[in-house]
Amino acid sequence: MNRQSSASNLANHINAVYELRRAYARLSADKPVRLAKTTSNLFRFRSRDDAARLDVSAFTSVISIDTEARVAEVGGMTTYEDLVAATLRHGLMPPVVPQLRTITLGGAVTGLGIESSSFRNGLPHESVEEMEILTGSGQVVVARRDNEHRDLFYGFPNSYGTLGYALRLRIQLEPVRPYVHLRHLRFTDAAAAMAALEQICADRTHDGETVDFVDGVVFARNELYLTLGTFTDRAPWTSDYTGTDIYYRSIPRYAGPGPGDYLTTHDYLWRWDTDWFWCSRAFGLQHPVVRRLWPRSLKRSDVYRKLVALDRRTDASRLLDYYRGRPPKEPVIQDIEVEVGRAAEFLDFFHTEIGMSPVWLCPLRLREDTADDTEPVWPLYPLKPRRLYVNFGFWGLVPIRPGGGRTYHNRLIEKEVTRLGGHKSLYSDAFYDEDEFWELYNGEIYRKLKAAYDPDGRLLDLYTKCVGGG
């Protein structure tokens, strides 16, 4: 990206900020404000309301890329798909690229994100150097670690657009190589898998080879895989999982002794998006005939999410199950984190009480430390520094337990995660009572931030938005 185009992009951005502030000021103060977006990766499906809609379509582009400093200036509503397309041309990528193409940078920062580089690079917001934020008060502020808005900088992650919206972010980049070599390690015991995971993440090597990426899949109580990815300049072949082959099904096939698997770096970053991990099976897309007929361009997570949203609005699948005499089902769509020493315990609970598979796992460790390792760096999602956590992601339906109600399994998971000292992401439905919620997500700090940056409450508060149906 040359200097002339960068300067033009920046000028356009400045003008868009001016117009957005004017538009925000014109919105009715009597209605909650929401973004007018065409895509979403949240799974809190709300009924349509009369909220005031704010058009942020002017903030969807890469403003500039500095290849020497390895930083990019990016509009807050820019998708990682577009950012990665721009940075890979320069042999660079964001240090953490969430799995789904249409996750935006602003969304990953305010709503968190994770991927297989998180064991060494933390969460996406830790790669951000500066945020330009339209606050709930209508002001535009620039927040950094070392300026007068550092409280907002550190409090913005996990605020889910309830303090303001990111308009521009300066994000660090890291160099990449053309290919990623994958090794899949099979385990028959969760405790052994977690012990190996902890050692690999500490050493950042395995069997003499550097490890750049780590994640894994749990297929059953006695079938777990850790996938280790390593950047490489050459590949004897590359697999393609955007056609008839399915990535997660390749993991057992390539596990054990042998050369492993190879993907281009681009295809590695989006390996989970094509089939929305494994959730495309709900649409019949993993049937060989359907898969051949389904266009590649529509094998995308955002397409599947729209189908789910349509089903939620029409209640079609529930009615179909009813007329077929099938038992009603409870959606269980969650990501949680527990420390690695409690991870096997969580899996044992999950297999016994929930029984869903597969389950995705991904290790993470915060990049930033504090002097006191009991003090959270990012207060609204209080992970402890210098601790290795394991994220478990599970997305699907389980039969409703007789007498348990339609939220039984979700509430059971929340209680177990709290018992284990873990945390739950808020992109999907949550069921905490208000006192417990604010204890878990640092209500004291949040209320101070809300009073400073949205004193009139023009944006919903975090509990109302994530739990209370707002």
| pTM for the whole structure | 0.94
Residue 144 and residue 65 share a domain: yes
Residue 18: band (very low, low, confident or very high) from pLDDT cuts 50, 70, 90? very high
Same domain, 146 and 121: yes
- State the Cα–Cα distance between residues 3 and 65, nearest whole angstrom: 9
CATH code where residue 424 lies? 3.30.70
116-139 per-position pLDDT tens digit: 999 999 999 999 999 999 999 999
CA distance 362 to 226: 9
| For residues 448-456, average pLDDT | 97
Burial class (CB in 10 A: 0-12, 13-18, 19+), 358: buried
Residue 70: CATH number of its domain: 3.30.465.10
Per-residue pLDDT tens for 330-382? Answer: 999 999 999 999 999 999 999 999 999 999 999 999 997 655 566 678 999 99
Number of domains comprising the chain: 3
Q: Decide if 286 is inside a domain.
A: no
DSSP line for 405-432: -TTHHHHHHHHHHHHTT-EE-SSB----
What rounded mean pLDDT belongs to the chain?
92
| Nearest alpha-carbon partner for 107 in 162, 34, 170, 161 | 161
- Structural domain including 262 reads 179-271
Same domain, 370 and 398: yes
Say yes or no: 189 and 132 in one domain.
Answer: no
Give kind and range of the element (H or E) at residue 217: strand 213-220
pLDDT at 327: 80
Q: What is the mean pLDDT of residues 172-190?
A: 98
How far is residue 145's CA from residue 128's CA, in Å, rounded to a whole number?
Answer: 10
Ranges assigned E (strand) in 240-327: 261-264
Mean predicted confidence (pLDDT) in 128-153 = 97
φ and ψ at 283, to 5 degrees? -105, 10
Same domain as 183, residue 170: no
Does 15 share its domain with 145?
yes
Q: Which amino acid, 42?
A: L
Backbone torsion region of residue 183, taken as left when φ is above 0, otherwise alpha when ψ lies between -120 and 50, otherwise beta: beta
Q: What is the pLDDT of residues 33-68, one digit of tens each?
A: 888 776 676 666 665 566 788 999 999 999 999 999
The angle formed by the CA atoms of residues 8, 12 and 13, to the nearest 5 degrees, is 115
pLDDT reported for residue 38: 67
Confidence at residue 163, expressed as pLDDT on a 0 to 100 scale: 97
Asked if residue 349 and residue 212 are part of one domain, the reply reads no
Question: Do both 155 and 239 map to the same domain?
Answer: no
- In 3D space, the residue among 264, 271, 189, 191 whose CA is nearest the CA of residue 227 turns out to be 271
What pLDDT score was predicted for residue 375?
Answer: 67
